[in-house]
Amino acid sequence: MTRLPSNGCTRSHGAPRAYRPQQGVSLIELMIAMAIGLVLLAALSTLYVANSKNHNEFSKTSAQVENGRFANQSIQRDIAMSGFFGRASLLPTSPTYGNPDLCATTQTTLGFGTTGGVTLPNSLVGRAINAATPACLSTYNVVPNSEMLTVRYVSGDVSAAVDGTNFFLQLSQCSTDAVPLVFSKVSTDFSLQTLACNGKAAELRQYVVRTYFLSTCDNCSPSDNIPTLKVAELSGGAVTVSSLVEGIQDIHYSYGVDQDGNGSPDCYVDDPAIDNSATCTGVATYSWANAVTNWSNVTTVRVSVLSRNTDFTAGWTDSRTYNLGRTTVDGGQTTDGPYNDNYKRHVYTSLARVWNTGGMREIH
């Protein structure tokens, strides 16, 4: 007897259940899903590209800021050291100063002497914007109509040994020594004594000469066309050149001249070597006739650096002008730019004190 199920329907034992067959995604549904996915992918790609572009621009700006500040700090540090020739109290109160050629490499041309009084090189000397390129830098792609700055001092480190190639300065502390200083690269020349006058040698300090200048390229063979701040340094008896900071397009030095001898600048000029009496009227008795004397009276330097990105920025046009403080013949201001190219720029300015000139005058 066949047993009826509870719903009253007859079901044969062993008969398979009826299942609804599975259905796939239709072509229309697949196309809709793909379209949504492409929209999301496009949005994510746009966001990624924008973030990547912003990151690149931030990196460029950070590098430009770092380069501009490092250039300023490097020059400012050397200006602060300029004129340090050991213990200032051991030198005569009124030495004779000179402006040696920045390409000088021999003992007799570097500016030190003891014949008829002590002769010293000026602690710093600038090269005017329209001056000729020094012979030792003629092959280094110097930017036309750019300024240079040469600083001179001796190292604060007294541990370096005389090597026969680099120049050293020794100052006497003994009243019986025949001369107040010895400048040489020969070890047997250094015979000056300490204050005790007991035969103990006075300290030796290596002489430093650095010239900062602008080149049109960092790597110049072939030229990469990246404006670069370079430094020429007296080393091993020769002038050697190395790159310091990339992206430095222009630099201007404004010199504070102490006209009354109290250590403070009375007037700022672009070139102390010329007659500035028409614009510097605060001290009427000061004479601008001697360029060497004018340079010896520089007690501060205002350094302005125009830093440029080393990589261009797509969609950017630099239509701005930049004021580095450079003056015209009639006392007006000249500006850099507009360059109308795709590089971003910024001006960085700092004020550096020539402590070993101005500071000593304030003491006395």
* Separation CA 219–CA 199 (nearest Å): 51
What DSSP assignment string belongs to 303-335? Answer: EEEEEE-SS--TT------B----B-TTS-B--
User: Which pair of structure tokens corresponds to residue 289?
Assistant: 């006739």
pLDDT band per the 50, 70, 90 thresholds, residue 272: very high
| Position 278 pLDDT exceeds 70 | yes
Residue 58 maps to a domain = yes
Tens digit of pLDDT for each residue in 340-359? 999 999 999 999 999 999 88
Residue 7 maps to a domain = no
Residue 253 maps to a domain = yes
Residue 34 maps to a domain = no
Residue 86 maps to a domain = yes
Residue 11 maps to a domain = no
User: Which pair of structure tokens corresponds to residue 30?
Assistant: 């697949």
pLDDT band per the 50, 70, 90 thresholds, residue 65: confident
Tens digit of pLDDT for each residue in 145-203? 999 999 999 999 999 999 999 999 999 999 999 999 999 999 999 999 999 999 999 99
Number of domains making up the chain: 1
**Alpha-carbon distance values, 94 to 72, 111, 344 (Å):** 31, 15, 48
Residues 6+ apart with CB under 8 A from 320: 337, 338, 345
- Predicted TM-score (pTM) of this structure: 0.84
Tens digit of pLDDT for each residue in 202-249? 999 999 999 999 999 999 999 999 999 999 999 999 999 999 999 999
Residue 32 maps to a domain = no
Residues of the domain holding 232: 49-363
* Separation CA 240–CA 238 (nearest Å): 6
* Separation CA 232–CA 215 (nearest Å): 11
Residue 128 maps to a domain = yes
- Please list the residues that pair with 183 across neighbouring strands: 169
